[in-house]
Structure 1
Amino acid sequence: MTDFTRITACGECCDGCPKKADGRCPGCIEADGRVPEWAGSGQCRIHACARAHHVQFCGLCEAFPCENLPSLISWNANIISHLSALRDEYLKEQEKTAVDIIVKKMETDEEIKGKAFVHWQSWHEAYPGLVSQDYLDRFTLEKSEKMAFSWTDNLLVAIDKGRVIGFVGYGCRRELPEEGEIFAIYILSEYYGKGVGLRLMEAGLEKLKDYPKVNLWVLKGNNRAIRFYEKCGFCPDGNEMYNDNVKASEIRMTLVRS
């Protein structure tokens, strides 16, 4: 079965590339869209095209198969059938793993407590080694609940069978009110790969639909999150800051709507 968490552009369609065939290259596409030195371009054109169309890989684009494919993926003569099969596999996998969740405004005390638990557990699952261990040790469930009850506006929660399994916080950008911002998005790890994060992101972006540009900050080195944001159409915009509270650097990513 294909590992769709590792596919970010043309679905590893370097099968027909002679440089891979004779062992000179492990593959044209890397997780962040960079290509090997010999290619000269520095950035994969297929990766850039997929990002521009806000899709994970080429076969999922509404325009597929488009007239650009032969020039973009010239080394694979069977590219259309390859991507069609990959798309069918992806859609079947999504159907199998999908969960019947509700995304709604956070309202009740139980939902606030559920949001606090998701926030607390997500930090302790995803951030060891990325942020100060001292900060993690001090970030208790009690502290998370106190934070959750102090900030209840502009929050949507994902609920499965009455249980909060994720949340997204949104609003106008703090230093530039004419731009939107996704402040936080977290889901329980047991729901990874089941479309919950995408549902939350889509709901958050819908709330920010009047903003032509939306930003978010992500910890440097949090590659899983960065790949997810790229799949949602966000790209690093070159801005970086050091968060002294958690003793870690963050990079800003931006989604520009056409």
Structure 2
Amino acid sequence: MEIRLAEEKDIKDLQKIAERSWHDTYSGIIPDKIQDEFIKRAYSDSFLLKRIQHSFFIVAKLEGKIVGFANFSFKNLHKDVELSAIYLLPEFQRRKIGSALLREGIKQLSPIFHLYVDVEKGNKKALSFYQSHGFRKIKEFDAMCFGHRLQTVKMVLDLEPLEQEDLQF
């Protein structure tokens, strides 16, 4: 497996991954119409290009194709980072690719003190993934997404006392 920085030429692959993984993940949690509107806006060519150019956006390539991605951005000057997206094609989940993307982001952006992520409360797979990697819940809140109420869990991974060798995932 290869993990590298995302490039403009990857945009179509990133859009396909976002669409497939969103529909697989949020079926029964977020209405399809809301998912489609979010994907259309958040993964448009122009918005993805900005994210690639102005944040830490990495892709995982396996078997000759891009199968997943992760997007990190700095929250403040204190080395707090937000994980805004980590998605894999459904058939490539549970192969430790998500763990590799998470580990690479932490490695490349270190020293990081805290890594934050927002997770839809109904997304049990993601909640389990983050908890198994040491994230803890710090709060729950409601957010609106195109008229649909999301129940969101904010989680954090505290990294300041950890050395890179201590990351066991």
C-alpha contact (below 8 Å) 2:29/2:122 kept by paired residues = yes
Question: 1:182 pairs with 83, 87, 100, which one?
Answer: 83
Give the match's secondary structure for 1:193: coil
For 1:141 and 1:240, the matched residues in 2 are separated by: 24
C-alpha contact (below 8 Å) 1:240/1:250 kept by paired residues = yes
Question: 1:118 pairs with 10, 17, 20, which one?
Answer: 17
C-alpha contact (below 8 Å) 2:23/2:32 kept by paired residues = no
Counterpart of 1:253 in structure 2 is: 155
* Percent of pairs with identical residues: 23
Question: 2:59 pairs with 120, 132, 157, which one?
Answer: 157
For 1:133 and 1:169, the matched residues in 2 are separated by: 23
Counterpart of 2:6 in structure 1 is: 106
TM-score computed with the length of structure 1 as normaliser: 0.55
For 2:111 and 2:29, the matched residues in 1 are separated by: 34
**Residue 136 of structure 1: how far off its partner (Å):** 2.1
C-alpha contact (below 8 Å) 2:81/2:115 kept by paired residues = yes
1:148 aligns with 2:48: yes
Counterpart of 1:7 in structure 2 is: none
Following superposition, which runs of at least 4 residues in structure 1 exceed 4 angstroms of deviation?
Answer: 139-143
Structure 1 residues 171, 144: closer, same or farther in 2, change over 3 A? closer
Structure 1 residues 137, 239: closer, same or farther in 2, change over 3 A? closer
Question: 2:72 pairs with 170, 178, 193, which one?
Answer: 170
1:40-119 aligned within 5 A: 101-109=1-9, 111-119=10-18
One-letter amino acid of the structure 2 residue matched with residue 164 of structure 1: I
For 2:122 and 2:39, the matched residues in 1 are separated by: 23
C-alpha contact (below 8 Å) 1:104/1:157 kept by paired residues = yes
C-alpha contact (below 8 Å) 1:117/1:145 kept by paired residues = no
CA RMSD of aligned residues (A): 2.1
Give the match's secondary structure for 1:151: helix
C-alpha contact (below 8 Å) 2:8/2:49 kept by paired residues = no
1:200-245 deviation per Cα after TM superposition (whole angstroms, max 9, x unaligned): 1111111332121111101111111000011111110124242333
1:202-221 aligned within 5 A: 202-221=103-122
Counterpart of 1:24 in structure 2 is: none
Structure 2 gaps of 5+ residues are: 162-169
Structure 1 residues 209, 243: closer, same or farther in 2, change over 3 A? farther
Aligned length: 155
C-alpha contact (below 8 Å) 1:132/1:247 kept by paired residues = no
C-alpha contact (below 8 Å) 1:105/1:156 kept by paired residues = yes
Give the match's secondary structure for 2:52: coil
1:132 aligns with 2:31: yes
Structure 1 gaps of 5+ residues are: 1-100
C-alpha contact (below 8 Å) 1:167/1:185 kept by paired residues = yes
C-alpha contact (below 8 Å) 2:106/2:112 kept by paired residues = no
For 1:242 and 1:141, the matched residues in 2 are separated by: 19
One-letter amino acid of the structure 1 residue matched with residue 105 of structure 2: G
